[in-house]
Amino acid sequence: MINLTIDDRTVSVEKNATILQAAEKLNIKIPTLCYNEEMAPIGSCRICVVEAIKGGESLIVSACNTGVEEGMKVYTKSEKAIEARKFAVKILYSENPSVKLIRDLAEEYGVVEDINVRKSECIHCERCVHACRDVVGQNAIVLTTCGLSYGNDAPSLKWDFDKCIACGTCAFVCPTGAVKMHDHDGVRTLLTPESKQDFTLKKCVSCGSYFMPEVQAQYLMKKTELPADKFDQCMNCR
């Protein structure tokens, strides 16, 4: 077990625990955006930053993906921590003032500037990218990051619909609703921040209800090596 203090309270946790998990044990709340308990930490939003003092040195670290260390002193509400978090909120707020989650954070941290760079609901937390790659295994979403080769373009997400199997996991994990999925009239529509794609749904041969996207049935057929007629019926008729 590793012993550390968070906001001057002592806690002892497993050696591979993160600062976020240790804080949770003490019921100390650290805000998160990109973090999803069921996925490996992404560490992209920086909203969870805290001040960590180790070996006499004060560092600003993200709590969701920084491991605990013996004797570490963590401050979640120190001036330095709040300042750093406020900066993260500022960046998000200037890019995504229309997202309620971000507006609430801005209000909480007293961030007022709204330079309104973009109107997208996507906050580039990358949850969808990681979920599609690590959970679904399709790797159909690519984040084109800002960097020298991209000039001053804002980062954007590209969906590769040749790889996508219309499972909607990206929509499920998206914290802002920037990805949406819905079924209607025999079609599943996936709405992403920058594109819209329709997928044909399969019709049950017995009762006639639509139950699964064609592409997904094809994918599962290959994966499970089951014969095609195993994918002809819906869950009720099977």
Partner 1 sequence: MENYNVFASRVVSKNEPLAPGHRACTGCGEVLALRLCAKAFGKNTIVVNATGCMEIIASQAPYNSWRLPWIHTLFENASATASGIEAAIKVLARKNRVPESEINVVAIGGDGSTVDIGIQSLSGALERGHNFTYICFDNEAYMNTGIQRSSATPFGASTTTSPAGKKSIGQSTWKKDMPAIMAAHNIPYVATACPSYPFDLMNKVEKALATKGPAYIHVFSVCPTGWRSAGNLSVRYGRLAVETGVFPLYEIENGVYKMSVEVPELKPLTAYTKGQGRFKHLKEDNLAKIEARVHEEYEKLLEKCNLSAVEEGK
CB of 163 to ligand FES, least distance (A): 26
| Residues binding ligand FES (CB under 6 A) | 32-35, 43-48, 62, 64
Are the CB atoms for 126 and 35 separated by under 8 Å? Answer: no
Of residues 17 and 132, the one with the C-beta less far from ligand SF4: 132
Which token pair is 139? 């790797």
Interatomic CA distance for residues 169 and 153, integer angstroms: 27
**Residue 47 interacting partner from ligand SF4, ligand FES, partner 1, none (CB closer than 5 to 8 Å by kind):** ligand FES
| Residues binding partner 1 (CB under 8 A) | 29, 36-39, 131, 135-136, 167-169, 171-173, 181-184, 188, 207-209, 212, 216, 220, 235-236
Interatomic CA distance for residues 69 and 66, integer angstroms: 9
C-alpha dihedral sign at 197, 142, 130, 18: negative
| Residues binding ligand SF4 (CB under 6 A) | 122-128, 131-132, 136, 138, 140-141, 157, 159, 164-170, 173-174, 176, 178-179, 190, 193
Are the CB atoms for 171 and 181 separated by under 8 Å? Answer: yes
CB of 45 to ligand SF4, least distance (A): 9
**Residue 236 interacting partner from ligand SF4, partner 1, ligand FES, none (CB closer than 5 to 8 Å by kind):** partner 1
With b for 16 or more beta-carbon neighbours within 10 A and e for fewer, the 8-35 pattern comes to eeebebeeebbbbbbbbeeebebbbbbb
Of residues 7 and 69, the one with the C-beta less far from partner 1: 7
How many contiguous H segments (helices) and E segments (strands) does the chain have? 6, 11
**Residue 235 interacting partner from ligand SF4, partner 1, ligand FES, none (CB closer than 5 to 8 Å by kind):** partner 1
The closest alpha carbon to 63, from 47, 77, 78, belongs to 47
**Residue 130 interacting partner from ligand FES, partner 1, ligand SF4, none (CB closer than 5 to 8 Å by kind):** none
| CA-based R_g, the chain, Å | 22
Of residues 51 and 121, the one with the C-beta less far from ligand SF4: 121
**Residue 218 interacting partner from partner 1, ligand FES, ligand SF4, none (CB closer than 5 to 8 Å by kind):** none
